[in-house]
Amino acid sequence: MPKNGGDASRPPSNSWIPNLRLAIPLSVALIGLGYALIELVWIQGYSLTSPAFLRAVLILVVVTPLIVWLILHWATNIENAQHDTQTQRHTLRMEAASLVGQRMTSLLDLDSLLTDVVKLIRSKFGYYHVNLFLADEENKEIVLKQADGPSAQLMQARGVQLKIGAEGITGWVASTGQTLVCNDVSQEPRYYKIELLPETRAELAVPLRVGERVIGVLDVQSNRLDSFDQGDVTALEILGNEIGITIENARLFQETKHRYEAMVALHETSLDIIARLDTPQLLGALLRRGAQLLGAKAGMLYLSDAQRKLIHVVAGYNTARDFVGVTLRWGEGVIGQVIETGTPMIINDYWNWPGHATAFEGATENRIVGVPLKWENQIIGGIDILNDPEDRCFDRNDIWLLSQFADLASIAVKNADLHTQVKQFSQELEQKVAERTHELSRAKDQLAIKAEQLRSLWDKTVRLQEEERARIARDIHDGVIQLIAGARLELTATRVVAGVGLSPLATKKMDALWGILDEMEKEMRRAIYDLQPPILDAVGLTPALSKYVGTFKELAGIDCQMQFTGTPFRLPPATEIAVFRIVEESLHNVMSHAQARKAVVTLDFSPTLLNVTVEDDGQGFDIEQRRNNGNGTGLGLLSMRERVKVLNGKMHVSSKIGQGTRLVFSLPITRGMVSDGREF
């Protein structure tokens, strides 16, 4: 129920009009009749039986009803005119509210939504000024997000923040969740005067709700006293409920879209960085990817010396100065505290922060988000992503995204580091073979150990990748999908509560909201499939690859065909996942590097052997040159070889420049490997 602001309110009430319509004319008629009779009898001295007196009575009896009828007719016309005026105003308000609501349901971009809402409300309702505040629950404030009217742009540039429950009419509404009407702000102690709006005389504020939670306040102001009546309250409360739900839907859609894009970017990042072996190239690529992932300017990567508690800057990307080689102590600066505590940090005003590191004096970047790099529960370093002062501030979403990225980066750094060690050891071994042949056996053993470590690390990398994909898919299913289901339940509950009183337009808007929720669910389920295809577990390798090839053909624009020979059968889950990932990575290479027009994936099933072929008609490459140049692009093929090797299989790649590429791998099939005898 709306609250009236002290004596300033003017509650409309006309319940006495029907009584006056009867009382006034009857009173006038009876008084006139009585006066005329008294004058005839007492003043003029007529007898009650005289003809003149009887004529006068007859005339009064005839004229009095006529007078009463005329007065009643006049009062009825006035009442009808007032009722028509009120009905017309109410209709205009409802039409305006309907137009605003219809416009809201077509927008999912939050900034565009808020801008359109305040402009439409002001133009359709004719208010002096319209403000839309959103709640900042962390700081217990309501913050002006959009305004329309005199000085609106200047107000937004300066910013308006009011303490919830302590400042202004809007602060009170945000605290109580109740509408407040004030038809004379000079009489309202809760009124917060804004110097840029000197003409405000009346104010009406309604809460924006999502269920029982108040997420903001819609505030309208007038430059005339007594401007708001119950019709304004009803129309704006209806709009407030619609705006609250629409804002929440837009926020949920943007968050979902951002998470989906982040998952896709992380997946692409994992494919990119796992294909690099050269450490300097890898570190630069990591920082570039990290900055792009957060939409930021620059970044730095650090490695930690736990024994001496020192931190070394080993790589930088797009920083104002080159800080590679700078050494910090644990606890010094953002990254020093991140590595010392293992906790991510955000500092959006670095040079005014007491803990800033003097080693970075002269840097222009002032906004920093830092996360640790961890490997086997050990902190091996950290990553800083940087922005200039005029760029956006970092928030908790950036910490979440950068932490996911850091998990992949840690694996890549360790992969490249171990590969460098193996490569360096092999070169040293070759130089010493001629001089110290008696040490060859020990050197081979050490090399085998390093190779086994690399294979073990690769196995762990693959397992972590699959677990991470499954975890991300579960998070989307258990989090976002459930939120969408909850939104559907809320929408259904709203329809049930409204019942038959729901207008056709409101029904249409609810149907539109239902359609938006359906589209959001489809996008999420598509993302879940990309991360962890459920069809692979449900029906097996052959249908899963067929579906993936169809999707690849559509997305890559390459004519990709799937062929089968023999009778397909089910394999153990680990084998099916390995085959699926090898084909997936092969087609990813075709799309990224081959410049091909056609590609063919062939599976040949025999009782003792599974042969898989992926070939394209692209530009091809020189295998020997690729093997010897050491530019870090061979880890993609290496990872596929390792997958095949773990399954006791063999892999062969043939390619020539201008003649395409052909990848073939074979896996031995034993009797116990076929999990069931079903055919597809």
Q: 667: which strand partners? A: 610
CB contact set of 608 (below 8 Å; sequence gap of 6+):
668, 669, 670
Place 679 in a pLDDT band, splitting at 50, 70 and 90.
very low
Helix (H) or strand (E) run with residue 115 in it = helix 110-125
- In the Cβ-directed half-sphere of 577, how many Cα atoms lie within 13 Å? 16
308 neighbors 352 (Cβ within 8 angstroms): no
Task: Note the pLDDT tens digit of each residue in 521-560.
Answer: 777 766 666 666 666 777 788 898 998 899 889 888 999 9
* Tokens read off for 410: 């840690």
Give the total residue count for the chain: 680
CA distances from 435 to 363, 423, 424, 503 (A): 52, 20, 18, 94
Confidence class for position 632, pLDDT limits 50, 70, 90: very low
Q: Provide CB contacts within 8 A for 213, sequence distance 6+.
A: none
d(CA 103, CA 117): 8
- Pure H helices in 274-328: 279-294
**What is the token pair recorded at 487?**
């939104």
Structure tokens belonging to residue 123:
């133009």
DSSP string, 139-208: TTEEEEEEEESTTHHHHHHH--EEETTTSHHHHHHHHH---EEES-GGG-TT----TT-TT--EEEEEEE
∠ CA(120), CA(146), CA(116), 5° rounding?
A: 30
Domain borders along the chain are: 1-245, 274-435, 533-673
Nearest to 464 by CA among 274, 257, 678, 193: 274
Between β-strands 298-305 and 213-222, what pairing exists: parallel, antiparallel or unpaired? unpaired
For the cut 80, the answer to whether the pLDDT of residue 235 exceeds it is: yes
> Which tens digits make up the pLDDT trace of 274-320?
666 556 677 788 888 889 888 899 999 999 999 999 999 988 999 98
d(CA 486, CA 480): 10
Q: What is the pLDDT of residue 72?
A: 64
Q: Which residues contact 232 (CB under 8 A, 6 or more apart)?
A: 93, 125, 204, 220
533-673 matches 274-435 in CATH topology: no
Query: What is the residue type of 675?
Result: S
DSSP SS3 for 405: helix
pLDDT level of residue 17 (50, 70, 90 thresholds) = very low
- Please, are residues 225 and 183 in contact by the beta-carbon 8 Å criterion? yes
Type of residue found at 639: S
Mean pLDDT of 495-519: 75
3-state secondary structure of 330: coil
Look at residues 247, 289, 239 and name the one whose alpha carbon lies nearest to residue 96.
239
Q: What is the pLDDT of residues 34-55, one digit of tens each?
A: 656 666 555 566 565 666 656 6
- Count CB neighbours of 312 within 10 A: 15
Spatial distance between the Cα atoms of 89 and 266, rounded to a whole number of angstroms: 55
Question: What's the whole-number average pLDDT of the chain?
Answer: 79
pLDDT in tens, 449-495: 776 666 666 567 656 666 666 677 666 666 676 777 777 777 777 77
350 dihedral zone (left: phi>0; alpha: psi -120 to 50; beta): alpha
- Digit-coded pLDDT (tens) for 89-132: 555 555 555 555 555 555 556 777 788 888 888 888 889 999 99
Show the tokens assigned to 217: 């306040």
d(CA 676, CA 680): 12
Where does residue 450 rank: exposed (0-12), middle (13-18), buried (19+ CB within 10 A)?
A: middle
The Cα–Cα gap between 490 and 154 comes to 38
- CATH number for the domain formed by residue range(s) 1-245: 3.30.450.40
* Best CA proximity match to 409, nearest among 279, 502, 556: 279
Residue with tokens 């990848």: 663
pLDDT surpassing 90 at residue 148: yes
Torsion of CA 141, 146, 148, 154, to 10 degrees: 80
pLDDT of 271 over the 90 cut: no
Q: Report how far residue 636's alpha carbon sits from residue 653's, in angstroms, rounded to the nearest whole number.
A: 12
Lowest-pLDDT range, 327-341, 414-428, 577-591? 414-428
**Thinking of the domain 274-435, which architecture would CATH place it in?**
2-Layer Sandwich (3.30)
Least confident span in 239-248, 364-373, 388-397: 239-248
- Exposed e or buried b per residue across 629-652, where buried means at least 16 C-beta atoms within 10 angstroms of its C-beta: eeebbbbbbbbbbbbbeebebebe
Find the range with the poorest average confidence among 243-257, 296-310, 366-380.
Answer: 243-257
**Fold adopted by 533-673:** Heat Shock Protein 90 (3.30.565)
CA 123 distance to own-chain centroid: 30
| Among the listed residues 646, 574, 582, 645, the one whose alpha carbon sits nearest the alpha carbon of residue 614 | 582
Cβ(108)–Cβ(516) under 8 Å?
A: yes
**Residue 240 pLDDT:** 85
* pLDDT confidence of residue 211: 84
pLDDT at 677: 44
Share of the chain above pLDDT 70, in %: 68
Q: What is the DSSP string of 614-654?
A: EEE-S----HHHHHHS--S--HHHHHHHHHHHHTT-EEEEE
Structure tokens at 144: 């002006």
Q: Which residue has the higher pLDDT, 11 or 602?
A: 602
Chain mean position to CA 638? 37
Flag whether pLDDT at 413 surpasses 80: no
Tokens for 277, please give them: 């072996």
Calculate mean pLDDT across residues 170-186. Answer: 94
pTM assigned to the model: 0.44
Residue 210's SS3 state is strand
Tell me whether residue 76 is exposed, middle or buried, using C-beta atoms within 10 angstroms of its C-beta: 0 to 12, 13 to 18, 19 or more: exposed
